[in-house]
Structure 1
Amino acid sequence: MKILLISTGGTIASQQSAEGLVPMDQGEALAARVPGIYQIADIDIANVFSKDSSNINPADWAAIIRCIRENQSYDGYVVTHGTDTMAYTSAALSYVIRDIEKPVVLTGSMIPMSEPGTDAKRNLEDAFRFMEALLAKGQPGISVTFAGRLIHGPRAKKMSGKRLEAFKSVYYDELGLSEGKKVTILKAPFIDRETLCKQGALANEIHFSNEVMPVKLFPGFRADYFDRIVEMRPKAIVVECFGLGGLPYIGEDLLPGIKKAVDLGILPVITTQCPEGGVDLSTYDVGQKTLKTGAVSALDMGFEAILTKLMWLIPQMPVSEAAKYLTRNLCDEVGSK
Structure 2
Amino acid sequence: MATKPNILLVYTGGTIGMIKDYQTNALKAFDFSQILTKIPELKQLNCKISTISFEEPIDSSNMNTSYYIQIAEIIANNYKTYDGFVVLTGSDTMAYVSSTISFMFENLQKPVIFTGSQLPIGDLRTDAKENLITSIEIACARKNDEPILKEVGLYFEYKLYRANRTTKINAEQFEAFTSMNYPPLVESGVHLSFNEHLLFKHPDHKEDLIFRKNLIDDVAILKLFPGITKKVVEATLNIPDLKGLILETYGAGNAPTEKWFIDLLENAIKKGLRIVNVTQCAGGSVILGLYETSTDLKKIGIINGKDITTETAIAKMMYLLGEDLSELEFKHYFETSLRGEIS
Q: Does 1:156 align with 2:161?
A: no
- C-alpha separation between the residues in 2 aligned to 1:330 and 1:297? 15
* Residues 179/190 of structure 1: CA separation in 2 closer, same or farther (3 Å cut): closer
- 2:192 aligns with 183
Structure 2 unaligned spans of 5+: none
User: Displacement of 1:228 after TM fit?
Assistant: 2.1
Q: In the alignment, is the contact (CA less than 8 A) between 1:280 and 1:299 conserved in 2?
A: yes
Q: In the alignment, is the contact (CA less than 8 A) between 1:123 and 1:145 conserved in 2?
A: yes
Structure 1 unaligned spans of 5+: none
Q: Does 1:77 align with 2:85?
A: yes
- C-alpha separation between the residues in 2 aligned to 1:70 and 1:193? 24
- 1:303 aligns with 310
Equivalent residues in 2 for 1:126-275, closer than 5 Å: 126-133=134-141, 138-180=148-190, 182-187=191-196, 188-191=198-201, 203=210, 206-232=213-239, 233-250=241-258, 253-275=260-282
User: Displacement of 1:30 after TM fit?
Assistant: 4.4
- C-alpha separation between the residues in 1 aligned to 2:33 and 2:285? 41
SS of corresponding position for 2:40: coil
- C-alpha separation between the residues in 2 aligned to 1:248 and 1:23? 49
Give the ranges of 4+ consecutive aligned residues of structure 1 lying more than 6 Å apart after TM superposition. Answer: none
- 1:38 aligns with 43
- 2:16 aligns with 12
- C-alpha separation between the residues in 2 aligned to 1:162 and 1:319? 44
C-alpha offsets along residues 32-51 of structure 1, whole Å, 9 cap, x if unaligned?
A: 33222222121111113511
User: Displacement of 1:213 after TM fit?
Assistant: 0.8
* Residues 68/35 of structure 1: CA separation in 2 closer, same or farther (3 Å cut): same
- Higher mean alpha-carbon deviation, 124-133 vs 53-62, is at 124-133
User: Displacement of 1:190 after TM fit?
Assistant: 3.0
* Residues 137/315 of structure 1: CA separation in 2 closer, same or farther (3 Å cut): closer
User: Displacement of 1:16 after TM fit?
Assistant: 5.8
Given candidates 2, 6, 18, the residue that maps to 1:2 is 6
Given candidates 321, 324, 330, the residue that maps to 2:338 is 330
RMSD of Structure 2 on Structure 1 (CA): 2.4
Q: Which amino acid aligns with 1:257?
A: L
- C-alpha separation between the residues in 1 aligned to 2:320 and 2:142? 29
- Higher mean alpha-carbon deviation, 289-298 vs 48-57, is at 48-57
TM-score by length of 1: 0.90
- C-alpha separation between the residues in 1 aligned to 2:262 and 2:301? 10
Given candidates 86, 95, 99, the residue that maps to 2:103 is 95
* Residues 122/59 of structure 1: CA separation in 2 closer, same or farther (3 Å cut): same
SS of corresponding position for 2:54: strand
Aligned residues, how many?
328
User: Displacement of 1:249 after TM fit?
Assistant: 1.9
Q: Which amino acid aligns with 1:63?
A: Q
- C-alpha separation between the residues in 2 aligned to 1:53 and 1:103? 22
- Higher mean alpha-carbon deviation, 100-109 vs 44-53, is at 44-53
- 2:60 aligns with 53
Identity %: 28
Q: In the alignment, is the contact (CA less than 8 A) between 1:133 and 1:183 conserved in 2?
A: no
Given candidates 102, 115, 119, the residue that maps to 2:123 is 115
Q: Which amino acid aligns with 2:13?
A: G
- C-alpha separation between the residues in 2 aligned to 1:287 and 1:300? 15
Q: In the alignment, is the contact (CA less than 8 A) between 1:191 and 1:330 conserved in 2?
A: no
- C-alpha separation between the residues in 1 aligned to 2:195 and 2:32? 29
C-alpha offsets along residues 136-162 of structure 1, whole Å, 9 cap, x if unaligned?
A: 653311101100001011111111111
- C-alpha separation between the residues in 2 aligned to 1:245 and 1:292? 13
- 2:30 aligns with 25
- C-alpha separation between the residues in 2 aligned to 1:193 and 1:58? 29
User: Displacement of 1:322 after TM fit?
Assistant: 2.2
Q: In the alignment, is the contact (CA less than 8 A) between 2:111 and 2:147 conserved in 1?
A: no
User: Displacement of 1:93 after TM fit?
Assistant: 1.4
User: Displacement of 1:96 after TM fit?
Assistant: 1.5
